[in-house]
């Protein structure tokens, strides 16, 4: 792919955003403060942002119509394009299409043809939600690379699976190959793997701040979460992953620093997020820590340095896993983290 843009959008220049719902104007404003941009999900997003613009908000924003969630829902295409333009989108995204990989699935080229035509017609970014097998299966990935390299428009991808799309063997390597070989790739609605994508030359990556915003569940699959644990989810930098506050509260170990020294917490213990009244503080902690890690990586001047630094960060995190203070508190690194750690 050879994307030629006279003035590249900010969100195509190696930048990051947080991914949030389009129904809460104040959350959009708040979450945009610590990032280069904000990705707003849902059909209501442009209207919400227009109200913020009237109030003087000047943040950089992209809009995800989430059209890939239900192919039977019709989208008023000219209106969706106009809504994004009217709300001051940094660049226009197509409504989005789910790209399946079930048995007997159509070719990638045929599945994305209509979405690519929309992108070309409106000089937009083509938004595609990919079943994880397009990364994890070598034959699928080969097809993906071949098709994407022929496109003349930027592509934004959302990864789909019941759990972690990047947790499957080979998925991280496949994502790295994609970001390195296809110009203008953005990764939306993902977890901290966004940082790895940026370290390996993605144009943009957007981190979800809630479980449902860190991947998409395929249309025919039922999602699942951690049963009977509604405590706040907290990003732990030492372990480069998310844990519930109740899990953190059961640790008694020197493997993990029990306090957060960033401005969000000022040396307080992270186990305090067990208190439901502090869920907004836990959210601010997550945003602050994730932004700090992204900036630590992106501030390195050379791409090779960025890749090694992120790999080392993940390698060090893997080394800290194990017994966390008792026979029932052993934790293991997730497959995605182990894959990133191999780049150290």
Q: What is the pLDDT of residues 256-277, one digit of tens each?
A: 999 999 999 999 999 999 999 9
Alpha carbon distances (Å) from 165 to 42, 99, 325 = 22, 14, 30
Across the range 302-328, mean pLDDT stands at 93
Inside any domain, residue 68: yes
State yes or no: pLDDT of 233 exceeds 90. yes
Lowest mean pLDDT among 25-34, 40-49, 113-122, 250-259: 250-259
Residue span of the structural domain in which 311 resides:
233-341
- In this prediction, residue 304 carries a pLDDT of 95
Question: Do residues 181 and 328 share a domain?
Answer: no
Q: Angle of helix 138-150 relative to helix 108-121, nearest 10 degrees?
A: 30
3-state secondary structure the chain: CCCCCCCCCHHHCCEEEEEEECCCHHHHHHHHCCCCEEEEECCCHHHHHHHHHHCCCCCCEEEECCHHHCCCCCCCHHHHHHHHHHCCCCCCECCCEEECCCCCCCCHHHHHHHHHHHHHHCCCEEEEEEECHHHHCHHHHHHHHHHHHHCCCCEEEEEECCCCHHHCCCHHHHHHHHHHHCCCEEEEEECCHHHHHHHCCCCEEEEECCHHHCCECCCCCCCCCCCCCCCCEEEEHHHCEEEEHHHHHCCCCCCCCCECCCCCCCCCEHHHHHCHHHHHHHHHHHHHHHHHHHHHHHCCCCHHHHHHHHHHHHHHHHHHCEECCCCCCEECCCHHHHHHHCCC
Inside any domain, residue 1: no
- In this prediction, residue 47 carries a pLDDT of 98
Question: Do residues 197 and 249 share a domain?
Answer: no
- In this prediction, residue 72 carries a pLDDT of 75
In the numeric block, which tokens belong to residue 87? Answer: 């709300």
User: Residues 93, 98, 100, CA angle at the centre, nearest 5°?
Assistant: 150
Could you tell me how many residues make up the chain? 344
> Which pLDDT band holds residue 7 (cuts at 50, 70, 90)?
low
The pLDDT > 70 percentage for the chain reads: 96
Q: What is the pLDDT of residues 58-88, one digit of tens each?
A: 999 999 999 999 877 789 999 999 999 999 9
Question: Do residues 155 and 261 share a domain?
Answer: no
- In this prediction, residue 2 carries a pLDDT of 39
> What's the rounded Cα separation, in Å, for the pair 231 and 73?
34
Question: Do residues 201 and 310 share a domain?
Answer: no
Average model confidence (pLDDT) across the chain: 94
Question: Do residues 132 and 272 share a domain?
Answer: no
> Which pLDDT band holds residue 104 (cuts at 50, 70, 90)?
confident
Inside any domain, residue 336: yes
State yes or no: pLDDT of 224 exceeds 70. no
Inside any domain, residue 224: no
Domain count, the chain: 2
| Residue 173 C-alpha from the chain's centroid | 17
Question: Do residues 46 and 131 share a domain?
Answer: yes
Question: Do residues 29 and 95 share a domain?
Answer: yes
- In this prediction, residue 222 carries a pLDDT of 67
State yes or no: pLDDT of 111 exceeds 60. yes
Q: In CATH, what number is assigned to the domain containing residue 141? A: 3.20.20.105
- In this prediction, residue 173 carries a pLDDT of 98
User: Residues 130, 31, 340, CA angle at the centre, nearest 5°?
Assistant: 45
Alpha carbon distances (Å) from 130 to 19, 45, 198, 287, 305 = 18, 23, 19, 26, 29
Question: Do residues 159 and 62 share a domain?
Answer: yes
Question: Do residues 102 and 198 share a domain?
Answer: yes
Inside any domain, residue 55: yes
- In this prediction, residue 339 carries a pLDDT of 98
Identify which has the larger pLDDT, 229 or 77.
Answer: 77
> Which pLDDT band holds residue 6 (cuts at 50, 70, 90)?
very low
In the numeric block, which tokens belong to residue 278? Answer: 């502090």
Q: What is the pLDDT of residues 163-205, one digit of tens each?
A: 999 999 999 999 999 999 999 999 999 999 999 999 999 999 9
Q: C-alpha dihedral over 97, 99, 103, 109, to 10 degrees? A: 110
Lowest mean pLDDT among 3-12, 277-286, 321-330: 3-12
> What's the rounded Cα separation, in Å, for the pair 69 and 201?
28
> Which pLDDT band holds residue 225 (cuts at 50, 70, 90)?
low
User: Residues 84, 90, 92, CA angle at the centre, nearest 5°?
Assistant: 45
């Amino acid at each position: 792919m050879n994307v030629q843009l006279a003035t590249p959008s900010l969100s195509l220049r190696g930048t990051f955003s947080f991914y949030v719902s389009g129904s809460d104007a104040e959350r959009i404003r708040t979450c945009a403060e610590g990032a280069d941009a904000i990705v707003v999900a849902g059909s209501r997003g442009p209207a919400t942002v227009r109200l913020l613009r009237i109030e003087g908000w000047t943040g950089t924003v992209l809009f995800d119509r989430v059209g890939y969630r239900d192919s039977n829902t019709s989208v008023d295409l000219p209106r969706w394009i106009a809504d994004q333009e009217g709300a001051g989108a940094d660049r226009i995204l197509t409504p989005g299409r789910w790209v399946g990989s079930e048995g007997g699935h159509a070719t990638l080229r045929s599945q994305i043809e209509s979405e690519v035509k929309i992108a070309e017609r409106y000089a937009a970014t083509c938004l595609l939600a990919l079943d994880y097998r397009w990364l994890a299966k070598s034959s699928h990935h080969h097809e993906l690379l071949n098709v994407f390299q022929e496109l003349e428009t930027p592509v934004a991808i959302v990864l789909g699976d019941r759990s972690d799309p990047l947790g499957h063997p080979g998925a991280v390597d496949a994502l790295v190959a994609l970001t390195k070989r296809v110009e203008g790739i953005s990764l939306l609605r993902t977890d901290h793997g966004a940082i790895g994508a940026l370290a390996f030359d993605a144009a943009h990556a957007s981190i979800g701040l809630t479980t449902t915003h860190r991947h998409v569940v395929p249309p025919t699959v039922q999602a699942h979460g951690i049963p009977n644990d509604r405590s706040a989810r907290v990003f732990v930098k030492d372990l480069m992953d998310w844990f519930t506050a109740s899990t953190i509260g059961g640790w008694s170990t020197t493997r993990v620093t029990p306090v957060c020294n960033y401005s969000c917490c000022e040396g307080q213990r992270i186990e305090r997020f067990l208190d439901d009244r502090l869920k907004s503080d836990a959210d601010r902690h997550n945003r602050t820590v994730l932004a700090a890690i992204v900036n630590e990586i992106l501030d390195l001047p050379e791409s090779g340095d960025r890749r090694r630094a992120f790999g080392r960060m993940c390698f060090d995190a893997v080394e800290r896993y194990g017994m966390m203070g008792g026979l029932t508190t052993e934790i293991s690194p997730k497959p995605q983290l182990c894959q990133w750690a191999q780049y150290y």
